[in-house]
C-alpha cells in the first residue's frame, strides 16, 4: 500500500481512537471482574485485537455490541494452540504475567518484528515470581508454565517499563497474591489507575506500587482518546502554516504527555480545554495552532514520558530553528523497528542533518522547504504516521507501505483527509 501525503493546513475538529495502552489493560482486568464490564471506545487496531483474541483463547468471554465491547469474567484455561501476539509487545509481556499468576501453560509466538524484540527482561522477573519460562535467545517463541505457589512477592523494577510492571501486577492479580514493586521511575500508570477504578486495594506514587488481592467490580469503562495518536496531529498542526485544530477527548495522563511539554517549550501554541476525568484518567480537548518552533534539549526523564512519540518529535525538531538534542532513548532501537534509524530515513528526505549518539540523537532543524521521495517504514505504524505529519509542512512525501498504520489507528488516513479539507 504505497501512500503519498500532501502539504496543507489542518483545521476543524477531529477525534482519535481509544487509547491503545489502556485498551489492552482494560480487557485483561475485566476478565477478573465480579460483574460484566462494558468497554466503549476500545482501540480498534490490530494490537488490541491480538490481546482480545489471546484472552479468548485462554477462555475469556468477550463480545461486541455495536460500539461497546462486553467482557464477562471466566476461569482461564491452558490454550489449545500457541498464543499469537502478532506485532504487539504489550500483548506478549502482559499476558506472560496473566499466565504466570493463573498457573497456565502457554506458548507465545509473534510476527517477525515481535520475534526480534527482547522478552528476557519480563521473563526474568516473572521467573522470580515462580513461573518457568524458556525463550529463544531471549526472544519469541517462548514457552511458559505458571505457578500455583508464588515465590517472590517484592520486586525491584530493573528498568522503567510499564509493560513489565503490569506483567508483575497481573501475576499478582491472577495469582491472588500481594505484590510490591519498587524502583519505578514514573513509567505509565494505566494499570494502577484501572485497578483502582475496579475497586482494587492498590497504592502507587510513581516509585512504588503495592497491590493487595481482593474482589474487583466495574460496570462500564470509556477509553480516552490515545495521546500517542493525537501526537501526529499536534505536530502536524504546529508545523503546517495556517492550521487551527481541535482534537477531542484526549487522554492527558502526565506519564504520557512528555511530547506536549516539549512542544510547549519549543514555542508551540497548544491549549488543554474542557479538562475532566474519565474514571481515574484525565481527559481534555487539545487546541493547537501553527507556530514557529525553536530547538530544545530533551532529557531522559522527559523522553521516557514521550517514548512512543520520539519519531514525531523529531519531525517537529526538523522544522524548528536550531538543534534539538534527545537523550535516553536507546530503547528505540528495539521497538517495532529501529526508530532512531527511522528518524534518519525520514529527515534525510527534507535534507535535515541528524547525529546519532550512543543513547540519543541530535537534530539540526530549520524552517526548511519541501522534500520529496519515498520513506521505507520497516513496517512501523509510527514511522508511517510521522512521515504524514512532516508532509503537511514539507510534502509531498510518500511511504512504501501504509498497511502498518492499522496496528493502532485504522482510520488515520480518513482523519487526516478530514482535517486537511
Q: What is the pLDDT of residues 209-230, one digit of tens each?
A: 999 999 999 999 999 999 999 9
The count of residues in the chain is 421
- What CA–CA distance (Å, rounded) separates 319 from 350? 10
308 counts as catalytic: yes
3-state DSSP helix/strand/coil % of the chain, to nearest 5: 35, 25, 35
Q: What pTM was estimated for this model as a whole?
A: 0.96
pLDDT tens string, the chain, 421 residues long: the values are 899 999 999 999 999 999 999 999 999 999 999 999 999 999 999 999 999 999 999 999 999 999 999 999 889 999 999 999 999 999 999 999 999 999 999 999 999 999 999 999 999 999 999 999 999 999 999 999 999 999 999 999 988 899 999 999 999 999 999 999 999 999 999 999 999 999 999 999 999 999 999 999 999 999 999 999 999 999 999 999 999 999 999 999 999 999 999 999 999 999 999 999 999 999 999 999 999 999 999 999 999 999 999 999 999 999 999 999 999 998 898 888 899 999 999 999 999 999 989 889 999 999 777 888 999 999 999 999 999 999 999 999 999 999 999 999 999 999 999 999 9
Q: Which CATH number fits domain 3-17+224-419: 3.65.10.10, 1.10.3720.10, 3.40.50.720, 3.90.700.10?
A: 3.65.10.10
- What CA–CA distance (Å, rounded) separates 120 from 336? 17
- What CA–CA distance (Å, rounded) separates 229 from 23? 14
Instruction: Out of 19, 308, 380, 411, pick the active-site residue.
Output: 308
At 329 the pLDDT is 92
At 354 the pLDDT is 95
* Class of domain 20-222 (CATH, top level): alpha beta
Q: Where in the chain is the domain with CATH 3.65.10.10?
A: 3-17+224-419, 20-222
Torsion of CA 190, 195, 196, 202, to 10 degrees: -100
What's the gap between Cα 164 and its chain centre?
14
Would you list the DSSP string of 88-130? -HHHHHHHHHHHHHTT-EEEEE--TTGGGS--HHHHHHHHHHT
Is the omega angle on the peptide bond into residue 67 within 30 degrees of 0, that is, cis? no
At 172 the pLDDT is 98
At 209 the pLDDT is 98
C-alpha dist (Å) from residue 93 to 3, 110, 335, 344, 411: 32, 12, 14, 29, 27
C-alpha dist (Å) from residue 221 to 214, 301, 338: 20, 30, 34
At 45 the pLDDT is 97
Single out the residue of 13, 12, 15 nearest to residue 249, CA to CA: 15
DSSP label at residue 224:
P
What are 365-417's pLDDT values in tens digits?
A: 997 778 889 999 999 999 999 999 999 999 999 999 999 999 999 999 999 99
Amino acid at each position: 500500500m504505497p501512500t503519498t501525503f500532501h502539504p496543507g493546513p489542518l483545521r476543524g475538529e477531529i477525534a482519535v481512537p481509544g487509547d491503545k495502552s489502556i485498551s489492552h489493560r482494560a480487557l485483561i482486568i475485566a476478565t477478573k471482574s465480579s460483574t460484566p464490564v462494558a468497554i466503549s471506545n476500545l482501540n480498534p487496531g490490530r494490537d488490541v485485537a491480538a490481546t482480545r483474541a489471546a484472552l479468548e483463547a485462554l477462555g475469556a468471554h468477550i463480545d461486541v455490541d455495536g460500539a461497546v465491547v462486553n467482557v464477562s469474567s471466566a476461569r482461564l484455561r491452558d490454550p489449545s494452540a500457541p498464543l499469537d501476539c502478532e506485532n504487539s509487545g504489550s500483548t506478549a509481556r502482559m499476558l506472560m504475567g496473566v499466565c504466570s499468576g493463573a498457573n497456565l501453560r502457554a506458548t507465545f509466538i509473534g510476527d517477525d518484528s515481535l520475534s526480534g524484540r527482547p522478552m528476557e527482561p519480563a521473563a526474568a522477573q516473572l521467573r522470580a515470581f515462580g513461573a518457568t519460562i524458556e525463550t529463544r535467545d531471549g526472544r519469541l517463541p517462548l514457552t511458559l508454565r505458571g505457578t500455583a505457589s508464588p515465590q517472590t512477592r517484592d520486586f525491584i523494577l530493573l528498568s522503567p517499563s510499564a509493560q513489565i510492571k503490569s506483567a508483575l501486577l497481573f501475576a499478582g492479580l491472577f495469582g491472588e497474591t500481594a505484590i510490591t514493586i519498587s524502583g519505578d521511575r514514573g513509567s505509565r500508570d494505566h494499570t494502577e489507575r484501572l485497578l483502582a477504578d475496579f475497586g482494587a486495594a492498590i497504592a502507587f506514587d510513581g516509585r512504588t506500587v503495592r497491590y493487595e488481592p481482593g474482589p474487583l467490580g466495574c460496570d462500564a469503562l470509556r477509553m480516552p482518546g490515545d495521546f500517542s495518536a493525537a501526537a501526529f496531529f499536534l505536530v502536524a498542526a504546529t508545523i503546517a502554516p495556517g492550521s487551527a485544530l481541535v482534537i477531542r477527548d484526549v487522554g492527558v495522563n502526565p506519564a504520557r504527555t512528555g511530547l506536549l511539554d516539549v512542544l510547549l517549550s519549543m514555542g508551540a501554541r497548544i491549549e488543554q480545554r474542557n479538562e475532566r476525568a474519565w474514571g481515574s484518567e484525565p481527559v481534555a480537548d487539545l487546541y493547537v495552532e501553527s507556530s514557529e518552533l525553536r530547538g530544545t534539549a530533551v532529557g531522559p526523564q522527559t523522553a521516557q514520558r514521550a517514548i512512543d512519540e520520539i519519531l514525531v518529535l523529531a519531525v517537529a525538531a526538523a522544522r524548528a530553528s536550531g538543534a534539538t538534542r534527545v537523550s535516553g532513548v536507546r530503547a528505540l532501537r528495539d521497538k517495532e523497528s529501529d526508530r532512531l534509524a527511522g528518524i534518519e530515513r525520514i529527515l534525510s528526505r527534507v535534507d535535515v542533518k541528524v547525529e546519532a549518539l550512543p543513547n540519543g540523537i541530535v537534530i539540526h532543524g530549520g524552517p526548511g522547504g519541501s522534500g520529496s521521495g519515498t520513506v521505507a517504514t520497516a513496517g512501523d505504524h509510527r514511522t508511517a504516521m510521522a512521515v504524514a505529519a512532516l508532509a503537511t509542512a514539507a510534502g509531498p512525501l510518500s511511504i512504501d507501505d501504509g498497511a502498518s498504520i492499522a496496528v493502532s489507528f485504522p482510520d488515520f488516513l480518513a482523519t487526516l483527509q478530514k482535517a486537511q479539507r
